């Protein structure tokens, strides 16, 4: 059972200095320290919605971003999905993805959602209605799949 997280849905400018710092710190712990070096701030944060999950003490424990339609793909794109290591296996990640999908569905009714998922997470995202499209490819030296969720 996961600890309850309070989700906020914000544009980049509305995150505030502390919010941006917390987001980048969590993303760096997982994407840079655990998975190997790469440039996390890729230029898409300013054209995205940011879903932040904080615990009762206000610590950011989960996060994803949704890049606006027309920036990376024609449809919205969920990415940078991250859960603090202490919460993995608790369902916190599934709660985060479900909330992200729900926010996309409300924000862009009638549009599907695209993700670039690490290949080993195909079944994980499949539980949220995503299906693999195309062939696997390397992104930041990690095998990925493009996945699509129909509207």
CATH number (domain holding residue 14): 3.40.630.30
Is residue 47 within 8 A of residue 69, CB to CB? The reply is: no
What is the pLDDT, as a whole number, of residue 2? 57
What pLDDT is recorded for position 106? 97
Task: With respect to residue 1, please indicate whether it lies within any of the assigned structural domains.
Answer: no
Residue 132 falls inside a structural domain = no
Q: Whole-model pTM above 0.75?
A: yes
At residue 27, the 3 state secondary structure works out as helix
Q: Could you tell me the residue range of the domain that residue 54 belongs to?
A: 6-110
Decide the pairing of beta strands 48-54 and 77-83.
Answer: unpaired
Q: How many domains does the chain have?
A: 1
d(CA 80, CA 26): 10
Residue 123 belongs to a domain: no
One pLDDT digit (tens) per residue for the chain, 151 residues: 556 899 999 999 999 999 999 999 989 988 877 777 777 788 899 999 999 999 999 999 999 999 999 999 999 999 999 999 999 999 999 999 999 999 999 999 999 999 999 999 999 999 999 999 999 999 888 899 999 999 9
pLDDT at 1: 52
pLDDT at 31: 81
Give domain status of residue 57, yes or no.
Answer: yes
Q: What is the pLDDT of residue 40?
A: 78
CA distance 79 to 88: 17
The answer to whether residue 116 is domain-embedded is no
Per-residue pLDDT, 74: 96
């Amino acid at each position: 059972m996961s600890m309850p997280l309070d989700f906020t849905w914000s544009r980049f400018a509305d995150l505030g200095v502390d919010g941006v710092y917390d987001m980048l710190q969590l993303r760096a712990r997982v994407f840079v320290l655990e998975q190997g070096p790469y440039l996390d701030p890729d230029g898409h944060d300013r054209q995205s919605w940011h879903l932040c999950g904080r615990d009762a003490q206000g610590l950011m424990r989960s996060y994803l971003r949704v890049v606006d339609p027309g920036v990376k793909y024609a449809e919205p794109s969920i990415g940078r999905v991250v859960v603090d290591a202490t919460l993995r296996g608790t369902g916190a990640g599934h709660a985060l993805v479900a909330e992200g999908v729900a926010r996309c569905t409300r924000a862009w009714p009638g549009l599907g959602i695209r993700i670039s998922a690490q290949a080993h997470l195909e079944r994980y995202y499949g539980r949220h209605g995503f299906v693999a499209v195309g062939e696997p490819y390397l992104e930041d030296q990690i095998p990925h799949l493009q996945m699509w969720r129909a509207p």
